[in-house]
Amino acid sequence: MAAVKESWVASANDPASDFSIHNLPYGVFRHQEKTRIGIAIGDQILDLRACAEHGLLLPLPQETIAACRADLLNPLMSFGPTAWSALRHQITALLDAGQPRRDSVEPHLIPMREAAMQLPAQIGDYTDFYASIHHATRVGLLFRPENPLLPNYKYVPIGYHGRASSIVISGENIHRPWGQIKSPTAASPAFGPTQSLDYELEVGIFVGQGNRLGQSIPIAEAEQHIFGLSLMNDWSARDIQAWEYQPLGPFLSKSFATTVSPWIVPLEALAPYRVPALARPAGDPAPLPYLSSPSSDRDSIDLTLEVYIESAQMRQNDRAPMLLSQGNLRDLYWTIAQLLTHHASNGCNLRPGDLLATGTVSGPGPGSEGCLLEKKHNPEPIRLPTGELRTFLEDGDRITFRAGAQKQGLPRIGFGECTGTILAP
């Protein structure tokens, strides 16, 4: 096996680190009252603005250097893969263990624990898809027992327009929302706090280069429009949802908060983990030509995603967070390229910084449900290490998502954390 490249930032070489020199995800952080773009490396952040100001990015075009001095990622996102790749190449060189100019780079590292992460981009629009057929079938069974998977599912990537204003960064607390709730036995709804608060384990897709209004994005070019991926929690109030969603889909049951993780992992970092999309089951229709990928051997990504829960009582008793479920991005019915191409297929313009999300990532088997609603199919509620029982989230519960791509002989590409704690309304 060829030796894996190392960084002079020692913490980045720990095989358990999410952020080796092979990852280099982008984020926006606040430190000493200044907001800057940074790159995660081990337990440090490389301050890109400082790198730009100290001539460390000089081989790059002026517009790239200017975008690195911004306090949001939108300008950099708009440039496209050639510029992203050149910048990534330069950062790799600066952080490489063999770098002779280490002394000129080291002053621009900031320990992660001293920084507060911010939303990475101005998110103009947010759209959530429904790309897991396993999630769609299990949720459909609860909402529409006679007709769980509607006949359009295998032809058209289903989605809904989400709410961008209530997207928050990982770590922000989540207020239990109020809404109209109609219990099955009541004649009419009442207004009150949700009793069925849920999470949804999702992957966020940040749009890079956009497309002009009226122009679509061919599937072969779709990934050139993707700046990178993050984790996303589409918090959902199931009782509010069950009453409001027909016929236009989710509205206030999901718009109260959506959490994103701070680090955007470039698609280039995930290249070694590309895999073919799973074959569609026999008898399923082939995707229509505009959604048919020309490069079938690497349409998906082998990315493991995990959900952990920690109640207030668990924290008081120093209990470790409990693993609730584990899934893989590979299990989706629709690929990220298909979602993006479908979104633009009517000429809708996507803009740099827009956020698309896959929808809940659920697998076929028990233990891979991407939300609590799906676990209602289990005969028993979830038992926490403190003996507390859960069907939905209680005040004080903390939900944390993690994700990583990992294979023998290859460096781990981690996503960091996407976490939120439920507050009383």
Ligand X SMILES: O=C(O)/C=C/C(=O)CC(=O)CC(=O)O
Which CB atom, from 255 or from 360, has the smaller least distance to ligand X? 360
Asked whether the beta carbons of 176 and 236 are under 8 A apart, the reply is no
Is 234 labelled a binding residue? yes
258 binds, among ligand X, Ca ion, Mg ion, none (CB under 5 to 8 A by kind): Mg ion
Is 258 labelled a binding residue? yes
Is 245 labelled a binding residue? yes
Minimum distance from residue 199 beta carbon to ligand X (Å): 10
Is 386 labelled a binding residue? no
Minimum distance from residue 403 beta carbon to ligand X (Å): 16
DSSP tag of 155:
T
User: Distance from first CA to last CA of the chain, Å, rounded?
Assistant: 54
Of the residues 135, 225, 342, 343, only one is catalytic, namely 135
Minimum distance from residue 159 beta carbon to Mg ion (Å): 13
Which CB atom, from 92 or from 180, has the smaller least distance to ligand X? 180
Nearest residue (beta carbon) to ligand X: 359
Minimum distance from residue 126 beta carbon to ligand X (Å): 12
Is 397 labelled a binding residue? no
Binding to Ca ion in span 93-152, by CB under 5 A:
128
What is the H or E stretch that residue 40 is in? strand 34-41
Burial class of 422 by CB neighbour count within 10 A (0 to 12, 13 to 18, 19+): buried
Residue with tokens 């704690």: 421
Is 254 labelled a binding residue? yes
Is 202 labelled a binding residue? yes
193 bridge partner residues = 178
Segment interacting with Mg ion (CB under 5 A) among 226-234, 241-249, 262-270, 394-402: 226-234
List b or e across 117-132, with b for residues whose CB sees 16 or more CB atoms inside 10 angstroms.
bbbbbebebbbbbbbb
Which CB atom, from 166 or from 406, has the smaller least distance to Ca ion? 166
Whether 135 is a known active-site residue: answer yes
Which CB atom, from 257 or from 336, has the smaller least distance to Mg ion? 257
Q: Does 234 bind Mg ion (CB under 5 A)?
A: yes
Minimum distance from residue 143 beta carbon to ligand X (Å): 5
Q: Does 258 bind Mg ion (CB under 5 A)?
A: yes
Binding to Ca ion in span 209-268, by CB under 5 A:
234
Is 316 labelled a binding residue? no
DSSP tag of 223:
G
Nearest residue (beta carbon) to Ca ion: 234
Size of the site for Ca ion (CB under 5 A): 3
Interaction mask 165-204, Ca ion, x per CB under 5 A: -----------------------------------x----
201 bridge partner residues = 233
Taking alpha carbons only, the member of 161, 79, 74 closest to residue 120 is: 74
How many angstroms separate the Cα of 309 from the Cα of each of 67, 241, 263? 38, 23, 21
∠ CA 362-366-370, rounded to 5°: 25
Is 395 labelled a binding residue? no
Contacts of 298 (CB under 8 A, 6+ apart): 274, 275, 276
27 binds, among ligand X, Mg ion, Ca ion, none (CB under 5 to 8 A by kind): none
Interface residues with ligand X (CB under 6 A)? Answer: 128, 130, 135, 139-140, 143, 200, 234, 236, 245, 250, 359-360
Size of the site for Mg ion (CB under 5 A): 3
Which CB atom, from 249 or from 385, has the smaller least distance to ligand X? 249
The whole-angstrom separation of Cα 406 and Cα 412 is: 5
How many angstroms separate the Cα of 184 from the Cα of each of 91, 187, 190, 194, 377? 57, 8, 12, 15, 18
Mapping DSSP to helix (H, G, I), strand (E, B) and coil, where does residue 221 land? helix
∠ CA 96-224-362, rounded to 5°: 90
How many angstroms separate the Cα of 318 from the Cα of each of 164, 171, 310, 311, 312? 35, 19, 10, 11, 10
Minimum distance from residue 131 beta carbon to ligand X (Å): 7
420 bridge partner residues = 399
Bond before 247 cis per omega within 30 degrees = yes
Segment interacting with Mg ion (CB under 5 A) among 108-116, 247-255, 383-391, 399-407: 247-255
245 binds, among Ca ion, ligand X, Mg ion, none (CB under 5 to 8 A by kind): ligand X
SS3 content of the chain, % helix, strand, coil (to 5): 25, 25, 50
Q: Which residues form the interface with Mg ion (CB under 5 A)?
A: 234, 254, 258
List residues forming the annotated binding site: 128, 130, 144, 200, 202, 234, 241, 245, 254, 258, 360
Catalytic residues: 135
List residues forming the annotated binding site for Mg(2+): 234, 254, 258
Q: Which residues form the interface with Ca ion (CB under 5 A)?
A: 128, 200, 234
List residues forming the annotated binding site for Ca(2+): 128, 200, 202, 234
